[in-house]
A and B are shown apart, each in its own frame.
Chain A
Amino acid sequence: MIRLDNVTKTYGSEAPAVRDASFEIAKGEFIFMVGPSGSGKSTLLRLINRQEQPERGAVWVAGQNINEIAESKVPYLRRNLGNIFQDYKLLLNKTVSENVAFALEVIGRPKHVIAQQVPAVLDLVGLADKGDRFPHQLSGGEQQRVSIARAFVNRPLILLADEPTGNLDPATGEGIMRLLERINATGTTVVMATHDQRIVNMMRRRVVQLDRGVIVRDQERGVYD
């Protein structure tokens, strides 16, 4: 589903954020990218959704070398990728339903499809009764569920999660992980960058560890370190 071949990415004149990284992620896998802040986890995610382009190496997503596709095709690539962030990136002037609907609206989905899929995905993330609330009326965990709903409503092949539990207390974070597990169980590949040891150790999934841009460990059913 995702493959990186000897990928190197440098920002400006600094040391490479990612250096000579190679790994492959199979369809339906759940994988953690771990390491301290600045170790290159987020950059890896940004390379996979083509927010960044590598200087060297190739990134393959769903059988395509995404560094070679035209700029105009990037939006269509992104429709196969859902994104979740530590700060949720919700639109504060829209309700929960509108936030989720927005993701479908801007890729031109017809109204009746939106009307059907938004309640279904809100039900999946456990917010069926909160569609009319605004983000500031929700707890952090609930806001993250909205952002997961928005990322998943288009049924992407891959979900990229950048520190999704970073702003949440342990119990709430666990709830989010259960939700991501359920989404993974539907066949969606989940790639999650985190430095939350407790969660990685609890989940016992594949772990790729980064240290200053270099992959130092790639372990099935791994722990944090």
Chain B
Amino acid sequence: MFTRMSYALRETWVSFRRNITLTGAAVVTSAVSLLLVGSTFLIQSAFDNLLTRWKGDVELIVYVRSDADATQVDVIRGALESQPSIIDVSKLRYLNQAESYAEAEKLFAGDPGTLRLLTPENIPSQFKVVPISQDSNLIRELGEQFRNIPGVREVAYAQDVFDVVARVSQFIRVATTVMSIVLLVVAVGLIWNTVRTAMFARRREIEVMKLVGATNWFIRIPFMLEGLLQGVIGGVLSCLGLWGLNTAWSGAVADFNDTELAALVVTDGYMRFVMVILLLIGAIAGAVGSGIAASRFLDV
């Protein structure tokens, strides 16, 4: 067993170095494609944070002062429910302070300074309003009426953020997904080709191995390890790149900490999760690509 292991590792390493140009191309391509995959994840998550309070077609949010009493909340609710021609009463949702705080944790993920000032006691609770009417002026008119009701802290309109952000996020999402898929296919193709070249360079050895009775797995494994190694190195590089990008981005966004942009960041936990995913994709793509190539070209 030990002989076999050391054989496989030695052969992997020798072959890995011999094809350094092709190997480099395969590694870089997989790194770039995985970096794009990772960016897609992060961008998606960041936009989800930004848009989280507008989820579910919410167009209007009425924030209630943290010191408002139950009667005032009921008055606001009553006023909203009395407009069934403009708003969808069945979808009207009230988030109490604890729920609002949970939401804020996402919203201000990139702005820990603001988050630290908030507590479940001082945060405003909120009514999330889903309109029936498509007329944005009507919604705005309605919203303005609420500004003067006692207990209302602020009124916010989805339209102000949503239109631009949603369109941008949708575009980026589609573009990065398409590019990362294309590049991933290219990366698998390059790994496949590297393995094929490696096998062609060693066809004499493979022929001898088959004649003296080496099993197909024994012949295949060094090549599969080579592909796996390329995928994993690509994955590691992409993780480093993504980490660098995210750090730079978070730093830049922090300067806008009183705007909506501050929500466009991801938590460290999510970052780690994405890195693990990238390594896994790299490893699987490498092993599968090279495994298929090794099986195809074993009959040289």
Q: Say yes or no for A138: interface residue by CB 8 A criterion.
A: no
Q: Tell me the bound Cα distance from A79 to B213 in angstroms.
A: 5
Q: Which of A35-79 contact B (CB under 8 A)?
A: 49, 72, 75-79
User: With a CB–CB cut-off of 8 A, which chain A residues contact B208?
Assistant: 89, 91, 102-103, 150
Taking the complex as formed, is A133 at the interface, i.e. its CB lies under 8 A from any CB of chain B? no
A165 to chain B, nearest CB (A): 19
In the complex, the answer to whether A89 meets B3 with C-beta atoms within 8 Å is: no
Please report whether the interface of chain B is mostly helix, strand, loop or mixed according to DSSP. helix
Q: CB-CB < 8 A to A81: which residues of B?
A: 213
Q: Which of B3, B210, B213 has the most chain A CB atoms closer than 10 A to its own CB?
A: B213
- Name A107's contact: one of B1, B204, B207, B212 (CB within 8 Å): B212
State whether A72 touches B3 (Cβ < 8 A): no
Nearest neighbor of A76 in chain B, beta-carbon distance:
B213
Residue of A nearest to B202 (CB): A91
Contact check: which of B3, B7, B205, B212 meets A78 at CB < 8 Å? B212
A75 partner, pick from B1, B7, B205, B216, beta carbons under 8 A: B216
User: Does A189 sit within 8 A of B, measured CB to CB?
Assistant: no
Number of contact residues on B: which range applies?
10 to 19
Q: How large is the interface on A (under 10, 10 to 19, 20 to 34, 35 or more residues)?
A: 20 to 34
Cα(A110)–Cα(B219), bound, Å: 17
- Which B residue's beta carbon lies closest to that of A78? B213
Per-residue 0/1 for B211-251: is the Cβ within 8 Å of any A Cβ (1 yes, 0 no)? 11111101100000000000000000000000000000000
B211 in contact with A78 (CB, 8 Å): yes
A residues lining the B interface (CB < 8 Å): 49, 72, 75-79, 81, 83, 89, 91, 102-103, 105-111, 150-151, 154
- 4 nearest CB pairs, A to B: A79-B213, A78-B213, A106-B214, A103-B212
Given A72-B216, A109-B3, 20 additional A-B pairs, CB 8 A: A72-B215, A75-B210, A75-B216, A77-B213, A78-B210, A78-B211, A78-B213, A83-B212, A89-B204, A91-B204, A102-B209, A105-B3, A105-B7, A106-B212, A106-B213, A106-B218, A107-B213, A108-B4, A108-B218, A150-B208
